[in-house]
Chains A and B, each alone.
Chain A
């Protein structure tokens, strides 16, 4: 029989605003974001924590949203790519990714930018090795790692020059 599991109401801050979802207990944060709240920037690449395309920030820490049951984010704060900027109000990382052709097929991009944001929030002037380390959990199968790293270096420069974050 298809199991009709009890549902939970989960409330959390999403990109600075309060949100609530009604979900089955094992629903992942990624599924809640994509299929209940219809924020589609966060991608589903593997569903097993192997690719990084679903990377978001949970209380400003990097998490793989496919591995986080959404019930665990109750009362907490989640930031997705939609929360850091959009068309017409790009975050410096988004500008730099666009300028450096750092998105080819685009499927890993949300996860890459969120991992980069986590890094620059903590380390505004990272070395190349530190950038590479921060991206270690994010795969790009178009293998465009070099423009991605260069975009993050450039974004760090732009942000240190006082470009509004």
Chain B
């Protein structure tokens, strides 16, 4: 048999020498002769109608070469997940009629130096009629709340419904036969990724009509497709250069710098750099959305969960970004890795006048796992059972149908729990000690293919 050379070996990083010597080139290390600098004018209010954007003083400042407004963006309304069928386009690249969150981009100024660009941005005069913002997800769901989305409510619409549903078995019957009802509400605050490297983009117009786009996006092709759509150009006009990201954690998958920087480069015919300040990174980039999950479980004396009903509310902030997809993942994971015969889940992707939320490590699965595992501990405590035992009694086995109608293959939960118990020196109760993923004693039989 051929000897494998890599598996089991510790292989040095191909970019390691570059990192430890400072020779790795990040986007902010890219400089071109004659390069211009871009700064963004952002909304000072959480919600309002734009009456006037006066850029005349900024344009008169010596050293200012261009101002970019919504009128300069060929397809101003976009949504990045249009690539997987999410609609409608709900976000402007640059706000035109209204602003939906504090810090929303309104217009960009481009100048010979970053200092001049910063000064010019401060000279843009905004006249905005401020409106009452919707800042609370529960309030956003009430009839009293103003509808902030153009389609007339404050939620993403899943197949015509204002929430994503999961229905499996009959939860009411499950609650009736249960010995205990255990309830718990779990919440997570928004979390900012805080990569050490802020968002940076450099765009250079090439003599052949193409744009070379240096981006620290985590999703290069995704960025190329969306930028091409927004600029209304074929994607072969764009040459994306990426691959080196100074920390992302999901925070650099929004297509948030490339279109405006590209338009500035096209408008001036010169290379343009836009780099975000730390404050912009903290307060303006997408965050992990706040999430609230309410559990109601029906549990038997022997630890079996016979019904689970969950309501989950996710704060998307002002726009889709990746949230409709994240909420779907949240929905699929709220039952946990457990075989529960009766499951009911309602998940709401709610819009508010807050900083948009988007992807972050685990992406709404982390939220679900946090909630479901704290809930499992709570059940164990309520019925007086070892917290390992409650998980093993309910762990899904190979062949079990998950509520999302996927049959479990390659289940490893029981094996992992047994190995973890051994590592931490926890003696498992005799009843579960020998359980394994093809053992159906006391649990549902596998689904026949």
A contact set with B: CB distance below 8 Å: 1-2, 34-35, 38-48, 50-51, 53, 80-82, 85-87, 90, 94-95, 97-99, 101-103, 105-110, 113, 139-142
Contact = CB atoms under 8 A, between A and B. Distances in A.
B22 interface: yes
Contacts of B16: 98, 101, 103
Nearest to A95: B20
Main DSSP-derived SS at the A contact region: loop
Contacts of A41: 21-23
Given A43-B246, A46-B278, A107 B21 contact: no
B115 interface: yes
Contacts of A42: 22
B411 interface: no
Contact of A40 (B22, B63, B195, B249): B22
A110 B22 contact: yes
B87 interface: no
B29 A53 contact: no
A101 B13 contact: yes
Given A45-B278, A107-B26, A141 B195 contact: yes
Contact of A82 (B21, B61, B63): B21
A115 B327 CA distance: 42
Given A98-B16, A105-B247, A141 B194 contact: yes
B196 A103 contact: no
B62 A45 contact: no
Contacts of A139: 196
Contact of B196 (A85, A97, A141): A141
Contacts of A113: 20
Nearest to B194: A141
Given A41-B23, A101-B16, 14 more contacts: A2-B62, A2-B119, A42-B22, A86-B23, A90-B17, A90-B20, A94-B21, A98-B17, A103-B19, A105-B248, A106-B15, A106-B18, A110-B22, A141-B193
Contacts of A87: 17-18, 21, 23
B108 interface: no
Contacts of B197: 43, 45, 105, 107
A97 B22 contact: no
Interface of B: 12-13, 15-26, 28-29, 31, 61-63, 111, 113, 115-116, 119-120, 193-198, 244-249, 277-278
A98 B21 CA distance: 10
Given A1-B61, A98-B12, A107-B247, A51 B196 contact: yes
Contacts of B29: 34, 40
Nearest to B119: A2
A80 B28 CA distance: 18
Given A38-B31, A43-B246, A81 B21 contact: yes
Nearest to A85: B21
B31 A35 contact: yes
A41 B278 CA distance: 19
A143 to B, nearest CB: 10
B21 A86 contact: yes
Contacts of B277: 47
A141 B191 CA distance: 13
Nearest to A89: B21
A2 B62 CA distance: 6
A141 B17 contact: no
A51 B19 CA distance: 17
A2 B15 CA distance: 41
Contacts of B193: 141
Nearest to B244: A106
A15 B277 CA distance: 29
